[in-house]
């Protein structure tokens, strides 16, 4: 099931610095970011890919269903990282203005890794 990790962050009078080095439970093979989102994104799960999601600006909600349990995670701070297992069906929604969602993946893009069928509720 999906879970939140607190990103190591160092803050002082100059601001904050968050570090993803040796932090994620997988090797990063791909990363991308979603911005200017005007509607729901995602709507799939994976065969192999694990993901780490960080909303580096603004906020958004991530709906997750692992076939047994479902929950909604609020990503509203750049020091929160949501870890998704391959089996986690997920959608991203409720993006605030200027929200930017950074996604790290354990796999390179492969259309065959995507499962578009949602779990039955």
In eight-state DSSP terms, residue 112 is G
44, 65, 90, 98: which is the annotated catalytic residue? Answer: 44
**Residue bearing tokens 């909600």:** 61
User: Residue 98 catalytic?
Assistant: no
Query: C-alpha distances in angstroms, 72 versus 26, 30, 65, 92?
Result: 23, 24, 9, 10
Annotated catalytic sites, by residue?
44
């Amino acid at each position: 099931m999906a879970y939140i990790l607190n990103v190591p962050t160092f803050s002082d009078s100059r601001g904050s610095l968050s570090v993803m080095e040796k932090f994620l439970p997988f090797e990063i093979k791909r990363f991308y970011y979603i911005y200017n989102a005007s509607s729901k994104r995602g709507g799939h799960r994976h065969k192999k890919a694990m993901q780490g999601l960080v909303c580096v600006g603004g906020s958004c909600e991530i709906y997750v269903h692992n076939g047994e349990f479902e929950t909604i995670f609020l990503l509203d701070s750049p020091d929160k990282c949501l870890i998704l297992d391959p089996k986690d069906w997920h959608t991203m929604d409720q993006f605030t203005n200027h929200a930017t969602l950074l996604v790290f993946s354990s796999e390179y893009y492969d259309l065959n890794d995507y499962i578009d069928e949602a779990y039955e509720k």
